[in-house]
Amino acid sequence: MKSWLTTTDHKRIGLLYFFTAFAFFLMGGIEALVIRAQLAQPNGHLVTAETYNQLFTMHGTTMVFLALMPLSASFFNYIVPLQIGARDVAFPRLNAFSYWVFLLGGLFLNASWLVGPLFHAGRLSVAPDGGWFGYANLTERQFSPGPNIDFWLLGLQILGISSLAAGFNFIVTILNLRAPGMRMMRVPVFTWMTLVTQFLVITAFPVITVGLVFLMFDRFFGTHFYVSQAGATPILWQHLFWLFGHPEVYILILPAMGIVSDVLPTFARKPLFGYTVVVYSGVLIGFMGWGVWSHHMFSVGLGPIADSVFSATTMLIAVPTGVKIFNWIATLWGGDIRGTTALHFAVGFIAMFIIGGLSGVTHASPPADLQQTDTYYVVAHIHYVLFGGTIMGLFAGIYYWWPKMTGRLLSETLGKWHFWLQFVGMNLAFFPMHLIGLLGMPRRIYTYSPELGVSDLNLVSTIGAFLIALSILVFIVNIVRTRTQGQRAGNDPWGGATLEWSIPSPPPVYNFSVIPTVANRLPRWKTEHHDARSPGHTTRADPRARRILVAHARGLRPADSRAGTAHAYAVGRLRGGGCAAAGHLSLGVRALRGLSDDARRYCASYEPGTRQSQDGVLGVHRLGVPVVHLAHLDVSGLQGEERGRTVPARDPQHPVHVGQHLRPADVEPDDGAGARRGAAWRHEVGKDLAVLYGAARAGVPGRAGDGVHGVRA
- Catalytic residue, chosen from 173, 261, 281, 565, is 261
- Catalytic residue, chosen from 270, 296, 363, 408, is 296
Q: Encode burial over 424-437: b for 16+ CB neighbours within 10 A, e otherwise.
A: ebbbbbbbbbbbbb
Whether 411 sits among the annotated catalytic residues: the reply is: no
- Catalytic residue, chosen from 218, 248, 500, 634, is 248
Kind and range of the H or E element at 584? strand 584-587
User: How many residues are there in the chain?
Assistant: 713
Rounded Cα distance between 550 and 553, Å, is 10
Whether 248 sits among the annotated catalytic residues: the reply is: yes
Q: Are 594 and 647 in contact (CB under 8 A)?
A: yes
Long-range pairs, 336-340, Cβ under 8 A, ≥24: 336/268, 336/269, 336/270, 336/544, 336/673, 337/267, 337/268, 337/269, 338/267, 338/269, 339/267, 340/267, 340/399, 340/412, 340/415, 340/494
Kind and range of the H or E element at 347? helix 341-361
- Catalytic residue, chosen from 194, 321, 359, 513, is 321
Whether 709 sits among the annotated catalytic residues: the reply is: no
Q: Are 37 and 447 in contact (CB under 8 A)?
A: no
Whether 494 sits among the annotated catalytic residues: the reply is: no
Q: How far from chain centre, in Å, is Cα 181?
A: 23
Whether 125 sits among the annotated catalytic residues: the reply is: no
Q: Are 274 and 86 in contact (CB under 8 A)?
A: no
Whether 296 sits among the annotated catalytic residues: the reply is: yes
- Catalytic residue, chosen from 7, 62, 163, 311, is 163
Rounded Cα distance between 130 and 55, Å, is 10
- Catalytic residue, chosen from 12, 87, 239, 246, is 246
Whether 390 sits among the annotated catalytic residues: the reply is: no
- Catalytic residue, chosen from 62, 112, 144, 162, is 162
Whether 250 sits among the annotated catalytic residues: the reply is: yes
| Identity of residue 127 | A
- Catalytic residue, chosen from 17, 78, 226, 250, is 250
Whether 324 sits among the annotated catalytic residues: the reply is: yes
Residue 253 sits at φ, ψ, to 5 deg, of -95, -30
Whether 50 sits among the annotated catalytic residues: the reply is: no
**Among candidate residues 402, 72, 17, the one with its CA nearest the CA of residue 253:** 72
- Catalytic residue, chosen from 132, 242, 376, 401, is 132
- Catalytic residue, chosen from 12, 87, 270, 324, is 324
DSSP string spanning 633-695? --SGGGB-S----------TT-------PBPS-B---SSS-SPPP-GGGB--TTS-EEEE-B-
Whether 321 sits among the annotated catalytic residues: the reply is: yes
Is 567 exposed, middle or buried (CB count within 10 Å of its CB: 0-12, 13-18, 19+)?
Answer: buried
Q: Are 559 and 696 in contact (CB under 8 A)?
A: yes
- Catalytic residue, chosen from 88, 500, 597, 688, is 88
Rounded Cα distance between 495 and 429, Å, is 36
- Catalytic residue, chosen from 224, 338, 443, 650, is 443
Whether 412 sits among the annotated catalytic residues: the reply is: no
Helices (H), 486-530: none
Which residues are part of the catalytic machinery? 59, 88, 132, 162-163, 246, 248, 250, 261, 295-296, 321, 324, 443
